[in-house]
Each structure stands twice: as structure tokens, then as C-alpha cells.
Amino acid sequence: MEVRATAGALAQSESIVVVGLYQDQPVTGFSAELDQATKGLVSRLLERKEITGKHGETLPLHAPMGVKSPLVLLVGLGKQEEMNAGRAFRAAAAASLRLAEKPRGAVAFYFDGSWSAPWVEHGVAGAMVGCHGQDLYKKEKKLNPHQEIGWAGDAVAVNAGRVLGESVNLTRRLVNEPPSRIYPASFAEEAAQVAAACGLEIEIWDEHRLAKERCGSLLAVAQGSTQPPRLVILRHLGGKPEESPLALVGKGVTFDSGGLSLKPNDSMLTMKDDMAGGATVLGAMHAIAKLKLPRHVIGLIGLVENMPSGSSFKLGDILTARSGKTIEVLNTDAEGRLVLADVLDVAVERGAAQIIDLATLTGACMVALGADVAGLMTNNQEWCDAVANAAKQCGELAWQLPMFPEYAEQIRGSVADIKNVGDGRWGGAITAAKFLEEFVQNKPWTHIDIAGPAFTDKPKPHQDAGATGAFVRTLVEVVRRACA
Ligand code: BES
Ligand code: MN
Ligand code: ZN
């Protein structure tokens, strides 16, 4: 898919044209340009309430008189005073999705020439995300990506938006791929290709190296599977030589059957998405490298498959994590925290100044916050605020959960230092985070539980069902702010 800044006038464009329209106000900017070229057509449609400009609303006009375009799609931008990067993303995505019902050549977006760079970036990303679906293996595609996307706006911002859109779609594709294709070794291969393409350094630890590195907690989860585990370490050295890196850590369970604590069918159905945290880290690292952000950032992805077999780890097993802490296994389905325990330890060893981890960690987080909102948990309020503010700026939904010390009492062990589950299911998102906190050695750390927002069963008006690529844009924004 080609993406470029459009310079020409709307009325002269021979592409399919998408024109943004604010709600409850007369036409302005590009919508006024279209109105003039079509001798007042847009104003008449507004008058008759055929379109109101409500956010995400669309109205196709086939070859209207006065313009060269064969198809003009009007799209509502909502109230002008409510516009932000998240709404720019979703409005463009909704328009793009609507057009993707058929294969299209060039589609040119004319939203608002006065937009600041971030809004343009997120708008362009939305245009790219909206027309890509989860139908990777359907002969007759439900969504057809446009051959070319044009955006009337500053070329530097359009280019940065292209990088964001590519990165979100990379994450989505990896999560949407079936677990027979994406397993630890193949994910690591994908990461190596991404690294080569965008100039990231990469290190891949195989099962032997993981054993040499004493990653006993991660290895225990992997031991039930015929697929050997991997740890991917990506490095973007954009900062000053002596600077400590920011670390992005991802849960990469390429399939979570639950292990011997086997999940029932319906709970297992979408467990190919249990590597979404890892895919989000890879997508974000891709963007950070391509945007050449001036900050050292490392990305660490713990890759395992959690399976039941004669060689599985067992209930009652005692594991020794890389940090030296011992863990009593009470449920093999609480495997994400076991993987992250060792990966977080490597992040600390690599000198991380701040850590963010992303994981489809608990169903309990979805019970607490619903399917569209990520849970934030932290040991450092300032660092959590930085993540929360970045998410807000991008229009990605996140909400902080408390980390009172009392929650940690639930995971104190009687046989080993800690247990891998709390007592009963209450507060399960937080007891899981309390477990992770044991392995970050008091470094500023924020945990993002994306069990809900990483994947949707039903399509949204602006995005197909399946993987969402949620929090790729937020991570890029966090790193950008950390550069300032
Ligand atoms: N990968 C799951 C969490 C999950 C659930 C992600 C639903 C996405 C959607 C995780 O490994 C898991 O199984 N967690 C258990 C923890 C429990 C055994 C303490 C859960 O949430 O039930
Ligand atoms: Mn599990
Ligand atoms: Zn899991």
C-alpha cells in the first residue's frame, strides 16, 4: 500500500475522494471547497439532514457534478471542538472501512488542512488500519486494502502517519495469524525480518541460551510444548551513548491452552491472541526505529506455547526464576506472569531506566473494566501518569487499578517464596500485577493488561473484528514524550 501527501486541489482529483465534515456548523476548508465546486451540494445535504457531520457517519456521492472524482465519500468528523488524535484515527478508519467493501485504486483524504501534525498522523494511520481486515485466508476478501492512500496535509506528518499505520497493521497481522503459523520460533523469525527492514539490533535466545541464563520460570511454561521457546531482544539506540534505555516488555504466549489446567473450549477459542503483548512491542519498536526517535529503547518478547502433555509443568511444581525467587505453581493457566517474571529480570539486567510491560494477562481485568479498556498497574505513579496521558492523547482507553500492598499477601507462598495465583478470583488482575512487581526491582514500571482491547469478537464501525493493534500508538507516544 502506497501512502503519500496529496498536493492537488480536491475538485481536480481523479481519485476516490474522502471529505471530512464537522458537525453543527457550516462547511469550512475542504468541505467548503467541495461545496463550491458542486454548486452547494454539501450545504443542501446538510440542510436536509442527509448528513449531519456526526462522528464516523458516512455518505457516498457518486460522480457528483463539478468534480473529477468518480466517488466522493463524505465522513462526519463530529464537533470541531471535540476533535483529537483518537477521533481523527477513528473517523478516517470508518471511512476507509466503508470504501474497502470493494477493491479501490487511489483514495485521497481531504479532512482539514489546518490540523496539527499529530492529528494528521493518527488520521493517516486510521485510513490504513480501517481497510485491513482479519480475513487473511479468505479468497473473497471482506475488506480490500486500497492500492494507494493520499492525504491532503504536511508531507512529514503524512509519512509519520504511514509508519504508525504500518506498525499497527503489523501487530494486527501477527495476532490474526493462526497458532500453527505463529509459534515461538516463527515469531522470532518475523521479528528478525522486521529488525532487518527497519535497522533494529536483534538478539534471539533459543532454549539452550534460556537454560544457560537460568530462565526457569519461562522454561517451565514452555516444557509441555513440542515448540521450543524464544526470547527476542530488540535494541533501538537512538539516544545519547551513556543513556539508560526505556524497556518495552511483551507477553508472547503464541497459544494458551491453559496447560494441565486446561481451558474449556470457549475460553481457548481466541487464545492465539495471547502473544498480543509481544506483537504490540514488535509493532511499536518498528515505529520507533523508522521514526528514528532520539531515545534508547529496548523491546523484550518472551515467546512460549502453553500446552498440556506428558512433559508439562505440573501443579505443585516449584520453579526457580532467573532472579532467584522460587515460585509454587498452583495453576498452569496463570502462565503469562511466569513468562514475564524472567523477561522482566532480563530487562532490569539490561539497565532499563523505566519499564512498560504489555500482556493479555487476566480475564479478571475484563471483568473489572470491560472488553475495550486496558488496566494500568504500577509501582510508580509518575510513570503511570505518563503512560495514561499518552494513551489519552491517542484515544486508547486505559484505566488505573490500585496496587495496595494488601493484595500482595495473597501471593505469599508457604512452600516457596511466592505462588502463581492469589486466593480465589477476586482482584485477579491486581494479584497478577503484584506477582510481576516482584521482578522489577523497584524500577519505575507500568503494567498494561490488554486482555480485553487486544482482540474483539465483533467488528467495530471503524475496524474489523479480530486483532486491534491496541496500544502500539500509545507506546510510540510514550517514547516520543520521553525524548522531549
Ligand atoms: N491468557 C489468559 C488471560 C486472558 C483471558 C486473555 C481472556 C484474554 C482473554 C491468561 O493466561 C489466563 O489464563 N489467566 C487466568 C488466570 C487465572 C488462572 C488466575 C484467567 O484469567 O483466568
Ligand atoms: Mn493462561
Ligand atoms: Zn495466557
β-bridge partners, 246: 297, 354
Closest approach atom of ligand 1 to CA 256: 1
- Calculate how far, in angstroms, residue 451's C-alpha sits from the geometric centre of ligand 3: 9
Task: Determine the pLDDT at residue 424.
Answer: 86
Task: Determine the pLDDT at residue 291.
Answer: 98
Task: Determine the pLDDT at residue 479.
Answer: 98
- Calculate how far, in angstroms, residue 399's C-alpha sits from the geometric centre of ligand 1: 19
- Please identify every residue annotated as catalytic: 263, 337
Of all protein residues, the one whose alpha carbon is nearest to atom 22 of ligand 1 is 363
Mean pLDDT, the chain, as a whole number? 98
Task: Determine the pLDDT at residue 247.
Answer: 98
**Would you say the CB of residue 446 lies under 6 angstroms from ligand 1?**
no
Degrees to nearest 5, angle at CA 368 with 409 and 443:
50
Phi, psi (deg, nearest 5) at residue 129: -75, -40
Task: Determine the pLDDT at residue 425.
Answer: 87
**Would you say the CB of residue 428 lies under 6 angstroms from ligand 1?**
yes
**Would you say the CB of residue 256 lies under 6 angstroms from ligand 1?**
yes
Q: What is the DSSP string of 342-388?
A: HHHHHHHHTT-SEEEEEE---HHHHHHH-TT-EEEEES-HHHHHHHH
What would the pLDDT profile of 441-477 be if each residue is shown by its tens digit? 999 999 999 999 999 999 999 999 999 999 999 999 9
Closest approach atom of ligand 1 to CA 263: 13
Closest approach atom of ligand 1 to CA 421: 19
Beta strands 374-378 and 445-449 are antiparallel
Closest approach atom of ligand 1 to CA 364: 21
Q: Classify residue 417 by burial, with Cβ atoms within 10 Å: 0-12, 13-18, 19+.
A: middle
- Of 45, 111, 124, 127, nearest to 78 by C-alpha is 111
Closest approach atom of ligand 1 to CA 258: 13
Domain spans in the chain, listed from the N-terminal domain onward: 2-153, 179-483
Measured CA to CA, the distance from residue 90 to residue 126 in angstroms comes to: 6
**10-residue block means of pLDDT along the chain (484 residues)?**
95 97 96 98 97 97 97 98 97 98 97 97 98 96 97 98 98 98 99 98 98 98 98 98 97 99 98 99 98 98 99 98 98 98 99 98 98 98 98 98 97 97 94 98 99 97 97 98 87
Which residues are CB-neighbours of 229 under 8 A, at least 6 positions away?
A: 184, 207, 210, 218, 219, 221, 222, 302, 303, 304, 305
- Calculate how far, in angstroms, residue 427's C-alpha sits from the geometric centre of ligand 3: 17
Measured CA to CA, the distance from residue 150 to residue 319 in angstroms comes to: 54
- Calculate how far, in angstroms, residue 351's C-alpha sits from the geometric centre of ligand 1: 30
* Residue 409 DSSP one-character state: G
- Calculate how far, in angstroms, residue 429's C-alpha sits from the geometric centre of ligand 2: 13
**Would you say the CB of residue 451 lies under 6 angstroms from ligand 1?**
yes
Measured CA to CA, the distance from residue 35 to residue 269 in angstroms comes to: 49
Task: Determine the pLDDT at residue 480.
Answer: 97
Measured CA to CA, the distance from residue 89 to residue 129 in angstroms comes to: 9
**Would you say the CB of residue 274 lies under 6 angstroms from ligand 1?**
yes
- How many CA atoms does the CB half-sphere of 272 hold within 13 Å? 20
Of all protein residues, the one whose alpha carbon is nearest to atom 16 of ligand 1 is 334
> Ligand 3 is a single-atom ion; what residues have CB below 5 A from it?
253, 256, 274, 336
Which residues are CB-neighbours of 326 under 8 A, at least 6 positions away?
A: 318, 319, 320, 413, 416, 417, 418
Radius of gyration in angstroms for the set of CA atoms belonging to the chain, rounded to a whole number: 23
Does this model's pTM top 0.75? My answer is yes
**Would you say the CB of residue 367 lies under 6 angstroms from ligand 1?**
no
Q: Which of the listed residues 362, 420, 431, 456 should we mutate to test ligand 1's pocket, taking the one with most ligand atoms within 8 A of CB?
A: 362
Q: Please, are residues 318 and 417 in contact by the beta-carbon 8 Å criterion?
A: no
Please report where in the chains the cell 458542486 appears, as a residue: 38
Domain 2-153, what architecture? 3-Layer(aba) Sandwich (3.40)
- Calculate how far, in angstroms, residue 214's C-alpha sits from the geometric centre of ligand 3: 22
- How many CA atoms does the CB half-sphere of 246 hold within 13 Å? 28
2-153 and 179-483: identical CATH topology: no
**Would you say the CB of residue 207 lies under 6 angstroms from ligand 1?**
no
**Would you say the CB of residue 336 lies under 6 angstroms from ligand 1?**
yes
Closest approach atom of ligand 1 to CA 274: 1
Beta strands 230-237 and 201-205 are antiparallel
CATH annotation of 179-483: 3.40.630.10
- Calculate how far, in angstroms, residue 363's C-alpha sits from the geometric centre of ligand 3: 9
Q: Which of the listed residues 272, 333, 430 should we mutate to test ligand 1's pocket, taking the one with most ligand atoms within 8 A of CB?
A: 333
The dihedral over CA atoms of 138, 176, 124, 82, expressed in degrees to the nearest 10, equals: 110
What is the number of the ligand closest to the CA of 363? Answer: 1
What is the number of the ligand closest to the CA of 450? Answer: 1
Which residues are CB-neighbours of 8 under 8 A, at least 6 positions away?
A: none
**Would you say the CB of residue 364 lies under 6 angstroms from ligand 1?**
yes
The enclosing H or E element of 320 equals strand 318-320
